Structure 1
């Protein structure tokens, strides 16, 4: 087992940002100021076509770090961010763009591609979690949460289903086609966000995924609006959700 190899460090907006690698997988760890003591870790999975420092990730990290003192980690999914695209990645992206341009359904392509990325990414996430828990400020017995958006949900559902160290999860809706079996294995508390007027993921599909979770505590947040119109207050809700289930108090208002 290896600790993360840190490659860069900076501080801004009340948190420390450290780039790292585990093997050949690049990631970023956001933390409170040094000396804050041991704190829980929240893993976040970025959306398709995005990367570890996309604004959707940095904004949520800011809330989690400054609002509760969590550590927050994101790794680039295969073929995303600082990771090279394979010929397979290029082919799938080209097929997706072609379908979108023609107004054809994109779901079958996204489901297929995301499923392959999840097969690769789940072991990478588990290796990253092993490494991050070697850090004294996180610790081998510290609580862990997971937050996924889009592709991050497609990767996160099988990850949470097979990773007993994750105690709570927030998912933003994605196509459920290959996720239902794994969702039925998830029993930790879940908060599930979906857009009621989503033009990409059908409403019935989002509800089917929520219904499949076997958690005794699961909460559905359905908001009016289209796929990319998830309200900002859902990020604040996630802070309070993780504070409840990972044993922290919300120490300052989310920015």
Structure 2
């Protein structure tokens, strides 16, 4: 891992980094040291590691919970080079959308193309982050991702045993059913009732397929991009409950996080 830039503001330390050709960002409390729980945050389609939907979650996780938070650019976004195959598939999807036609096989092909690179990249990033004194390899790891990041998150959480809790949602891909069944960690799952791209029946079917014994469905009225801001507060409580409690267990303390 190579740190390319570092700054401190409002009690948060921001470190831009690269791991080979993977560009990322790590946020940690400006004060204090030692290992701490880590939350990985995925970004939406066409967005990047410092997009609003990432930062709006990352900063409260750092300031309210004292967690480390990391994000990386997906292939073809942010500081990554252009990805010709992703560009080709996105163009097909946009053409079909403009014509009012179904996306067809281009949509699952796009997700498979992104996942083939992004899932190993997340695992490589986690390997590197856990070698840092500010993160360590003894603390629990969470994942947050909605929409395209929910699609990738289901794949990542199913494949990565170090992730012990996840906030997912805004996705209803039928091809993820079997993958979702392999997830057994606690999950908070977000559904927008009027999501034009992810019909509620498909999203609830994917939620039902999750193999987790502890899973909660948060359904709110509104379209895909109208997730209520209070869902951020809910995710803070979710991760504080699961990651902070696990941290105390690892340290030999009690099983409940301190009230916040």
CA distance in 1, matches of 2:208, 2:89: 29
Deviations, residues 101-148 of structure 1 (Å, cap 9, x unaligned): 112234753332112211211111101000000001111111100011
- 2:120 counterpart of 1:156: no
Q: What is the number of residues matched between the two proteins?
A: 249
1:172 lines up with 2:169 in the alignment: yes
Counterpart of 1:149 in 2: which secondary structure? Answer: coil
Q: Deviations over 1:162-220 (max 9, x none)?
A: 11111000002213222111100000000000101111111111001100101010000
Q: Is the Cα–Cα contact under 8 Å of residues 11 and 31 in structure 2 kept in the other structure?
A: no
What is the match of residue 200 of structure 1?
Answer: 197
* Residue 238 (structure 1) aligns with: 235
Aligned equivalents of 2:97, 2:9: Cα separation in 1 = 38
Alpha-carbon RMSD:
1.5
Is 1:130 the counterpart of 2:105? The answer is no
Higher relative contact order (CA 8 A, sep 6+): 1
Contact 1:115 1:178 survives alignment (8 Å) = no
State the TM-score, normalized to the length of structure 2.
Answer: 0.91
Structure 1 length normalisation: TM-score?
0.93
Q: Find the residue that maps to 1:73 and give its secondary structure.
A: strand
Which consecutive unaligned segments of at least 5 residues does structure 1 have?
none
Counterpart for residue 17 of structure 2: 20
1-side partners of 2:103 and 2:45: how far apart?
A: 13
User: What does residue 80 of structure 1 align with?
Assistant: 77
Mapped partners of 1:215, 1:100: distance in 2: 34
5+ residue gaps, structure 2, are 246-256
The farther-off stretch of 72-81 and 28-37 is 28-37
Does residue 140 (structure 1) correspond to residue 137 (structure 2)? The answer is yes
